[in-house]
Amino acid sequence: MKKLENKVVFITGANSGIGKASALEAAKEGATVVVADLPSANHEATMNELKALGGKSLFVPIDVSDVESVKAAIDTTVKTFGRLDIALNNAGIGAPYSGIHDMDEKVWKKIIDINLTGQFYCVKYELQQFLKQGGGVIVNLASLAGLLAEPGLAPYTASKHGVLGLTKNIAVQYGGQNIRANAICPYYIETPLLNDLQANVKEQWIERTPIKRLGRPEEVAKAFIFFASEDSSYCNGSILALDGGILAG
């Protein structure tokens, strides 16, 4: 039997990168997959790939910084499939390098609104459904920036530290109600977000990594499947670093 057979999986930021890889991996494991993201040409390509794998899938538009949009996306999921079993809260944005002393307040607010408050909106309505149906699984996509700090990335670092705190709080508050919450903290992953980087910046990141390469979206997707499935049935509040050995150095 496949690991996510008959499960309804809701994934934000699923048009590309880690979210798309996770959606495809979930479909391969037998899940019904809900792709939640901003409408774009990317979502059509993702949906076509999911259809080619067979099984059920659905696209729902979402802006995670808008609470009503989040509520509507989860409501649509439940109305369509009757339940929600697993959520990957993956949507997020990066940050421009800036010192705290001269940072634009609008930059701070945008990053916190999407990366942290957006995850709060998602888990709020996911938890409401899980409590109604007797359980569920939450996987929050954080970052290695949730475990350490890098100069010039204060809002991103703060948002990802916040995601880990939120994950731990869900774990201790709702674990007794058959709800598990865990988080994944990737280092730099080869996604479209990195396409505009100068080659020397990528080279510096690779050089810092003990295994001398960046991560792949599919590797993060495999970690998601682990947390989403019964393979991790005793994991709750766990934080998994996918960093190629950065934290060990």
SS (H, E, C) 2-21: CCCCCCEEEEECCCCHHHHH
Q: Note the Cα 209 to chain centre separation in Å.
A: 22
The whole-number pLDDT of residue 245 equals 96
How buried is residue 205: exposed, middle or buried, by Cβ count under 10 Å (0-12/13-18/19+)? middle
Which of 175, 72, 67, 58 has the alpha carbon at shortest distance from 127? 175
The whole-number pLDDT of residue 8 equals 99
The whole-number pLDDT of residue 200 equals 74
For residues 21 and 242, the answer to whether their CB atoms sit within 8 Å is no
For residues 3 and 231, the answer to whether their CB atoms sit within 8 Å is yes
The whole-number pLDDT of residue 195 equals 66
- In one letter, which amino acid is 160? K
The whole-number pLDDT of residue 110 equals 97
Domains of the chain: 8-242 (3.40.50.720)
The whole-number pLDDT of residue 35 equals 98
- What is the CA angle 166-183-55, rounded to 5? 115
The whole-number pLDDT of residue 198 equals 64
Which of 44, 25, 46, 62 has the alpha carbon at shortest distance from 139? 25
Considering 121, 156, 187, 188, which one is annotated as catalytic? 156
Active site residue 156: yes
How buried is residue 143: exposed, middle or buried, by Cβ count under 10 Å (0-12/13-18/19+)? buried
Output the tens digit of pLDDT for each of the chain's 249 residues. 899 999 999 999 999 999 999 999 999 999 999 999 998 878 889 999 999 999 999 999 999 999 999 999 999 999 999 999 999 999 999 888 899 999 999 999 999 999 999 999 999 999 999 999 999 999 999 999 999 998 999 999 999 999 999 999 999 999 999 999 999 999 999 887 676 666 677 888 889 999 999 999 999 999 999 999 999 999 999 999 999 999 998
Query: Who contacts 128 (Cβ-Cβ below 8 Å, separation ≥6)?
Result: none
- Cα gap 226→235, rounded to integer Å: 10
